[in-house]
Structure 1
Amino acid sequence: MKQIYFLRHSIRDSSVHHEHAPLTIEGQQLARQLSKFFIDKQIKQIYSSPFQRTIDTVKPTADQLALAIQTVDSFSERRVGEWVADFDSFSQSQWLDFDYKHLNGESHSMTSKTVSIRLLKVF
């Protein structure tokens, strides 16, 4: 049976206010620790969004398993809109109301319709 593991990126450097923010030092350490989990999982392929923080999250695992990271442009995050200083509150609002969004942003309702299509294109 085929198993697919989905990961969210490790701790992002929130002082960088754009989508290509790297991981924090702690986020990098956690990514290295995560690679230990996958040692015996028989991983054959690794896919990532093109965001630096997602690539950096899976890189230690890819290096350990001698696998290339295949970036998939359609693996993107929802658009938040303007910069959100208190992302935890914003995220909580989005989980409580799937139609909640900021100006020029996307709600969970808007993005959930395209997720299965994106996955089907890859797999």
Structure 2
Amino acid sequence: MLLGDQEIWISDRKELLQMDRIIAFLNGSYWAKNRPAELIRTSIDNSICFGVYDGDMQIGFARVITDLVTMYYMCDVIIDETYRGRGLGKQLVEAVTNDERLRNLHGILVTADAHGLYEQYGFVRDPDRTLRKKRSQ
């Protein structure tokens, strides 16, 4: 999917993902800064992934965990800091939520700071119904 007249585009082809860049993005995030590289690689292997590219360079990423029947969990949504503020995060979320495999499923995500972005795509805050179990170390 090309974005306007730019060389910036989005793809769900895993063979295009640039693992070193994704690991660097996630290591710089507040939610995955301590996630080991091997866990990142394995999580990508077991998920639907979307990359945002400027020409040949990956500048964004989103990961989706799903059963492809009832629900999906969107996570690890990130845009390279130098490309933020251009609407690329919105276009990435739109690509995920409009993907034919996901558009009719119940979507879930967790965010500490981007509620307004996700609310534009039909997500609603539901703090009273969420439970969480952290993985054991």
Bin the TM-score by the shorter chain. 0.3 to 0.5
Q: Which structure's CA Rg is the greater one?
A: 1
Q: Point out the structure with the larger strand share.
A: 2
Q: Point out the structure with the larger helix share.
A: 1
Give me the TM-score of the superposition, normalised by structure 1: 0.33
